[in-house]
Amino acid sequence: MTHKTPIHLLIPCILMFTVAAAYSGPDQETGSELAGKQVGILIGAGFHDGETLEPAAYMRSRGANAVFLSNRTGTLSAYNSDASIDIETTIDDVNPEDFCALVIPGGRGPADIRDDDSVRQFVARFHATGRPIAAICHGPQVLASAGVLDGVSITCVNSISNEMIEYGAEFTDAEVMRDGNIITSRVPGDLPAFNRAIAQALTES
């Protein structure tokens, strides 16, 4: 069934200001080109704050609705700051078809959720829709567990590149890679290219 539960983001005001300010430059103008698009952001405990909050801010600045999801309710904390997110809607409460794109941030979150059967099934079902699915840093670990990387050209943080190759992926060290509906990036420094690639894929879909 579809969800109507509000999602509450619990982070310090200064961090929210910093995230918003990151998109105030001349090449980060706001707009409405993504109005009506709903983007799911799938996280686990120990998510990376920037890789989670910056894509959400970027999509929202362009009119999209960014929804934080996990495999359970409760408050999840970042491993690298005081940021936390209160999850009130789980992947069991929604359908892949409810979202125009799925984003999987890195940090320690992917290791927290990648072995959960419901996560693997949700990601595999989302991939089957053909809609954009984007993962950054350690995020491709979730794609690997879902069995959707065989023969796919990706990038990721270098420390897991061999693991991704073992799962059948073709690794390239680049700031962003797009192969079909799968978009990947390596590290927080790649976020501008990562976010633009997601937005571009959303405008095409």
Query: Among this protein's residues, is 137 annotated catalytic?
Result: yes
Pick the catalytic residue: 13, 100, 137, 156?
137
**Of residues 123, 120, 135, the one with CA closest to residue 52:** 135
Q: What are phi and psi of 180, to 5 degrees?
A: 65, -125
Neighbours of 181 (CB within 10 A): 20
> What is the Cα–Cα distance from 61 to 11, expressed in whole angstroms?
18
Catalytic residues: 137
